[in-house]
Each structure stands twice: as C-alpha cells, then as structure tokens.
Amino acid sequence: SLLYSSQTVGFIWPLVALHQVGCILCLWAHATCMLTDAGYVPLGSAVSEGVPRCEKCSSPKPARAHHCRVCSRCVLSMHHHCHFVGNCIGLRNRKFYIQFCSYVVIHSAFSVFSVLGNMALCRQSFVECAQRKGCDQSQTCMYNLVYLAMVVFGLLLALASCWKTMQNIDMMHESITDNLSPIDRLQGRMSEPQSLLDGLTEIM
C-alpha cells in the first residue's frame, strides 16, 4: 500500500490495540460513575436529634450533605452535579469519577502522541515513495484529504478533552487537599487540610 510503508503497518496495530483498551477503561469508568448511587439521602427517613431537615426534599440533611437541584435529592459529601456523566458526584461514586477523569487524560494524551507519531510515519512513507522509481506520491497519505481532516479533528478533540478533564482533576485535587467541596467553600465552611495521599486513601 502506498498510504503507509510496510514497516509502518506493523507499528500501527499495537497502537490500535492500546487505543481500544483505553476506550474500554474510559467507558467502564463512565458507566460505573453514572450508575452508582452518589450517596443520596433516603427520602422520608426519620430525622435524628440535632440533624436538620432539608427544606426542599424534606429528607434529613447531615453535615456536608447538599441538595442537588437537578436530582431533587440531598447527596452526602456532594461535590457537584456532572452533566457529562448524568449523575451527582458524591460520597459513593467520587472514586469512580476520579478514575474516569484519570483514564480520559491518559487516553487523550496517548491519542495525541499516537496521531503525531502516525503523521511522522506518514511523512516517512511519502519520502520513501519519492525515492522509488515509478511511485506516485499523490497516492500516499500526505495527499489523502480524508486522512488529514481526521488527523486535525482527532488532535483538536483529544487536546480539548485532555484540557477540560485536567481542569476537573485540578478541582478534585483542591477539594481533597482542602477537605472541602466547592459548595462547602462557597458557604464559607472551614475544615482541617489533609495531604493528597491521605485524601485519596480515604476515597478509594
């Protein structure tokens, strides 16, 4: 094939296999985070002495529980409602959210380097074609507009995904070390800071 050299083809398949493994891990973590109970406070539960009742859903509202306007439920240790996973991020599924964000960043970075490496190999096949008599360079991948369009789209998508997810990871990192959710911080609550390792150990 003139699209790639014979040496290039053998290099591509391991990358394809790793890409599929990354996709499976991302999808698994996404599904687990989406389907796991975030830590919803049961509706109609009896209120213990000293525990306030939520004015919106009438359920008990323990310390650090917050009412989610989207789910119309109170969630234990609620961090935020993530529209991308379609679920609140709370006490029982935050570890899956951290796993999901980590897998997305790793897979996105891997995709960027894979695409760049693929472009380098494509360029190599173009040069090799120029050195062979009777080889039509217009048949190489450097002249394939569909390939080039997919490369540009893939790079932009991977970079945007990596950048956005890194922002979410930074937000989770701040919440873990400060021992405060963004909602707690907005409400002016105070807490004893902790190390990232101690926080991750508690969550995981």
Q: Is 82 a catalytic residue?
A: yes
- Cα separation of 40 and 66, whole Å? 10
Q: Categorise residue 72: left if φ over 0, alpha if ψ from -120 to 50, beta otherwise.
A: left
* Inter-residue contact 3 to 141 (CB < 8 Å): yes
Q: Per the structure block, which two tokens stand in for 81?
A: 């409602």
Buried b (16+ CB within 10 A) or exposed e, 173-196: eebbebbbbbbbeeeeeeeeeeee
Catalytic residue among 82, 88, 141, 162: 82
Q: Nearest 5 degrees, angle CA 179-CA 32-CA 175?
A: 10
- Cα separation of 118 and 146, whole Å? 15
Residue numbers annotated as active site: 82
